[in-house]
Structure 1
Amino acid sequence: MRRTLLVMALAASTAASAQKIADPRPFATTITPDDLKKHLYIIAGPGMEGRETATEGQRKAAAYIESQFKALNLQPGNKGNFQLGYPIYQDSIAKAAIDVNGKPFAMFNDFTISQGMGHTSTLFCNQVVFAGAGISDSTRNDFKDVAGKIALVFQAPSSPAQTGGGSSTRNRRTFGPYAIMEAAQKNGAAAILIVQNGFPRRSGMGSGKSSPYLDGFQKTVFPNTFFISEEIAKAIMGADFDAAAESVKTGNAQPKTYTAEVKLEFRKDRIELSSSNVVGFMEGTDKKDEFLFITAHYDHLGKRGDSVIYYGADDDGSGTVSVLELAEAFAKAKASGKGPRRSIVFMTVSGEEKGLWGSEFYSDHPIYPLDKTTADLNIDMIGRIDPKRKEGDSTNYVYVVGDDKLSSDLRPISEAVNKKYTRLELDYKYNAPKDPERIYYRSDHYNFARKGVPIIFYFNGTHNDYHKPTDTPDKINYNLMAKRAQLVFYTAWEMANRNDMLKRDIPLSEH
């Protein structure tokens, strides 16, 4: 009952505010199925080649979005530029080699290396310390004798890497390769050898290039870590190998130093690529120094070979073209003298499919003050219907995510606006604290939320074409997509024109 009264009060307040400022409905109706379809057949067409980050297809999509922002007379949002570039790095192996007592061992046949965290180095050392399972916690430290030497570790059987998962958070930290590297580094190891099964291995490197990554400058430089076969370990430990392996299984491993002439060589070339977010800016009136963001990611998975394209019509062509249509609606309002009080930033980001890269870069290098950013409304997949949704009207719904977090203003505004204008079913399934899909953490709004900016994420759920080449524009429900985009517009209208910024009165939770 209390929530009903609150929503009614907000609805009345919203109506009064809208009447005082302007009626948003004439501008919302410019967000049409036909316009969305026109844009989407371009964004998710073959010419964009799947829009993979740091490829020509992504750059073509960025150019198209920029051209639309210019046509709407938006201002360039990045100090005179519409694009906010950021660097991406990729490693290419030049050489990787291990020699033990003059015997060479081959990459993939006998060892692999942690390429992304490795650094160019050639190490000659004749002291190798057996460091058990590589456990270092308050009760024991397997690395106490490794300073300036090579540490040799048997990865314990309870490690997820050996068992396929299922261990506790403590086990993942205690036995995982990253925790081993971290502990060895803190104890001064010169390099790390981790004994694993499964050699020889098929090369996963292809051309010898790593997957691209965002963090080119690491906070900590770890010792080079080689994952080695039992044959390499036997060449170092000799007849002690079997007893050492058994001692790790029983938890009775004791450190021991072996004398062996070990040469570890790793050389890599770092390639610097680039990508960009596209940023359009609309200046507000009396509250122009406060900001509302409307975001979506325009990248997708690219293509495989010359013929297979991952079109990404729903993911996230639907969000991208919705941002274009929302920008057009606000531009028409501004042209008629009814522009927003707060400034609005329309930002389409790249790198989402790689790990929320574009939004991470923006939130770590903001153009506009985050403490003056009232909210981020993020749109990621609003063009389809979730076949798993069995309750309610699945032709008239949208998943609303994050409106119960960070600000107690979010849900009352969202529900009042929806009740007044769009009357969609607002489904809060993915707000569940134990959501197994962790949807709240998987799109670009999260990089605003982690900085304290209130967010709402609009989502239709996954479907059988999710992350497949069959996610094509012909499968979009354009009428439903337009209605969902209009809900975002009305919500943005209220947030851009209300007297106060949204409260930040709910602590951010990682769970």
Structure 2
Amino acid sequence: MKKLLLPVLILFAGCATQNSLQEITSTEQLTEYRSQITPQFLQQHLEVLAHDSLEGRATGLEGQKVAAQYLADYYNELGFTPMGDDNSFFQSYRLNAEYTDSLVYRTYQISGSDTTAVNHSIESPELTGNFVRMFGGTVPLEGDVVFAGFGVNDSERGVQHLEGEDIQGNWVMIFEDIPYVVDGDTLVNPNITSNSRLRNLLGEMDAAGILLISDYDRDEFQDLAEMSSEMMNQPSNISLAYLEQNSEPGFPKGFLQISPEMAATYLGLSSADEVADKKQELIDEITSFSPRKTGYYLDYVPYDGPGHMDAENVIAYFEGADPELKDEVVVLMAHYDHVGIGAPDESGDGLYNGADDNGSGTTSLMSIANALNEAQKNGYKTKRSVLFLHVSGEENGLLGSRYYSDHPVIPIEQTVTNFNADMIGRSDPENIQKGDTDYVYLIGGEIISSELDSLVQTANSNSVNLRLDRKYNDLQDSNQFYRRSDHWNFGRLGVPFVFFFTGVHEDYHRPSDTVDKIDFEKLSRVSQLIYTSTIKVANYDGRPTIDNQEFIEITRQLPR
């Protein structure tokens, strides 16, 4: 009998250990800690991250670094493991950037074989002129100035503002605001957005650049020009240094705001005061207008110089409890950068706080970390580990997440799922109009992994019961949201993801994206869903697999 004692004790100890692990990692018990995610917690931290003092958290600038330190201090206080460089929370990466000395614009009038110089305008840190470069224009550009009205074609409504004149290689001058509905009449399809207009003109129609006529008067344009002049020392055309292979950084096509006086000159008007009348005339005769060359030619030369700067991802690690699964991770991700200081709105405010984009996702991750920490204090942990990844550089082209995916601190093959939270603190106009704002858009999930989608659905039914809206969850959707935020840098490497998103609103990329517009009750509910989904995946006995062949084919075809 004595010979049997040791094996029996070992067996008993093994059972006790297994039972203890099951108790420690109880999905039911862990799920209860979602109650730690509150509107008050989220508001407290968002008021810091979206404060004016952080100057819009532009990547590589001081505000972004202040935000990074705030996040690092927070995770350090929780006792989470730093996973950045040199045992810190920061994963630093080098960026190439351009710094502008001056931009020179020369306008010529062409009459038959005669060419006459009519305007020489310089934009620099010391000077303002008749043009403001909004973005792009990294190379010299020249071409005829073509007036194209509102810059749209809507054949269903007889609007053909891009037909009958050669756009390719020329400057296209258009009015900024598209008159969708006037006096109750729909003049232009609202689905033709300013962004789609821009993509059409600079992409498909291959214009050299766009000259935008806004509703600014002389003083308002001068304010914009002075702000642009002050910002010219800031970096532009930012790109990842390690991916640069002697290629031209930035976007070559020009996107310029034009002064009322210059617009009047190009339009053949007597004064800038007549530009508004020209716009109204165009609205009144919107179906009879055809584009025309103005008789002017614009030569643009940028004097930009190369430079470098550094930015940081913030990475914290919550270790799982299962000895067999804890080396695998669920990555929770949100970008914490925004667009900084830019063109002022009608109130004169040029500081872009980025409360929803993406202060909401950033504070959501912080609240989830807090909930996991509270669970841990009471003896509960997930089976798999959870990695909190706050990336920068999203607004410049998903740069921080690209860097991480190429330099992961946990191997990609051990990354089970990526959850991305970006703009989850508001509701979009469509759902507000319907009076149904208790929703979240899911992008990914079922179009990638049916297992992952099932886990998120179960998490939702076991927690907040939000309406899971799949409006944009289509690989053929024109918005292409499935690859327009940071989750794509995991998806391209075969990691299944879900992008949590509540839609675009009127304050997107505007100074008015402020804390007072956030629906903190909704933000807490979406955050609770992400938390519960994390628990489900982290404790899942299997591993979500990509089982949509179409998605597999797309990731093979698109560049990595």
TM-score range, shorter chain: 0.5 to 0.7
Residues 503, 17 of structure 1: alpha-carbon distance in 2 compared, 3 angstrom cutoff: farther
Go from structure 1 to structure 2 and tell me whether the alpha carbon gap of 1:23 and 1:472 turns closer, same or farther (over 3 Å shift). Answer: same
1:468 matched to 2:515: no
For each residue in 1:156-180, what CA deviation from the matched residue of structure 2 results, as whole angstroms up to 9, or x when unmatched?
94637666998999x968x959xxx
Cα distance per residue 1:1-36 (max 9 Å; x no partner): xxxxxxxxxxxxxxx999955522331100011111
Partner of 2:407: 365
Q: Does 1:87 align with 2:98?
A: no
* Matched-pair contact (CA < 8 Å) for 1:116–1:210: no
Structure 1 unpaired stretches of 5+:
1-15, 98-105, 119-155, 178-193, 228-264
Question: What is the match of residue 43 of structure 1?
Answer: 49
User: Which residue is 1:24 aligned to?
Assistant: 30
Name the amino acid aligned to 2:504. T
Deviation at 1:219, TM superposition (A): 2.8
Deviation of 1:218 after TM superposition, in Å, equals: 3.0
Structure 1 residues 107 and 363 mapped into 2: Cα distance closer, same or farther (>3 Å)? farther
| CA–CA separation in structure 2 for the residues paired with 1:283 and 1:323 | 16
Q: Aligned pair in 2 of structure 1 residues 387, 500: CA closer, same or farther (>3 Å)?
A: same
Q: Which amino acid aligns with 1:299?
A: D
Which of 415, 421, 442 is 1:379 aligned to? 421
Pairing of 1:64-463 with structure 2 (within 5 A): 64-79=70-85, 80-92=87-99, 157=166, 159=168, 206=229, 207=232, 211-216=236-241, 218-221=244-247, 269-285=305-321, 286=323, 287-304=325-342, 308-389=350-431, 394-463=436-505
CA drift at 1:296: 0.7
Shift of the alpha carbon at 1:439? 2.1
**Structure 1 residue 319 displacement after superposition:** 0.6
Once the two structures are TM-superposed, the CA of residue 289 in structure 1 deviates from its matched residue by: 1.3
> 1-side partners of 2:50 and 2:303: how far apart?
39
Q: Deviation at 1:297? A: 1.0
In 1, distance between residues paired with 2:103 and 2:505? Answer: 42
8 Å Cα contact 2:94/2:309 also seen in 1: yes
Counterpart amino acid of residue 316 in structure 2: G
Instruction: Supply the distance in 1 between the matched residues of 2:96 and 2:326 (Cα, whole angstroms).
Output: 36
Distance 1:222 1:212, change over 3 A: closer
Structure 1 residues 314, 21: closer, same or farther in 2, change over 3 A?
A: closer
Q: Following the alignment from structure 1 to structure 2, what is the Cα–Cα distance between the partners of residues 71 and 168?
A: 45
| Alpha-carbon distance in structure 1 between the residues aligned to 2:498 and 2:418 | 7
Q: 2:545 matched to which residue of 1?
A: 503
Task: Give the 3-state SS of the residue equivalent to 1:331 in structure 2.
Answer: helix
The letter for the 1-side match of 2:540 is R
Change (3 A) 1:428 1:393: farther
Partner of 1:254: none
Partner of 2:61: 55
Letter in 2 for 1:86: Y
Task: Name the CA shift for 1:274/1:33 in 2 (closer, same or farther; >3 Å).
Answer: same
Using the alignment, how far apart are the partners of 1:313 and 1:505 within structure 2? 36
Report the Cα offset of residue 301 of structure 1: 1.9
Name the CA distance, whole Å, in 2 between partners of 1:157 and 1:328. 58
Return the TM-score normalized by structure 2: 0.62
Q: 2:508 & 2:464 partners in 1: Cα distance?
A: 27
Distance 1:26 1:496 in 2: 15
- Whole-Å separation in 2 of the counterparts to 1:321 and 1:160: 45
Compute the displacement of 1:392 (Å).
6.6
**Identity of matched residues, %:** 31
Q: 2:187 maps to which residue?
A: none
Cα 1:17–1:493 change in 2 (3 A) is: farther
- Partner SS, residue 367 of structure 2: helix
**1:222/1:34 Cα in 2 relative to 1: closer, same or farther (>3 Å)?**
closer
CA gap 1:395/1:209 in 2 versus in 1, 3 angstroms: closer
CA–CA separation in structure 2 for the residues paired with 1:226 and 1:482 = 42
Deviations 1:128-147 (A, max 9, x none): xxxxxxxxxxxxxxxxxxxx
Unaligned runs of 5+ in 2: 1-21, 105-119, 123-128, 141-164, 175-195, 212-221, 254-300
Q: Distance in 1 between matches of 2:198 and 2:308?
A: 37
| TM-score normalised by length of structure 1 | 0.67
Q: Indicate conservation of the 8 Å contact 1:91/1:115, yes or no.
A: no
Inter-partner Cα distance in structure 2 for 1:17 and 1:338: 8
- Aligned-partner SS, 2:510: coil
Q: Distance in 2 between matches of 1:431 and 1:21?
A: 28
Distance 1:222 1:445, change over 3 A: closer
Q: In 2, Cα distance between the equivalents of 1:425 and 1:226?
A: 42
Q: Within the alignment, does 1:493 sit opposite 2:529 as a pair?
A: no
Report the count of equivalent residues.
Answer: 399
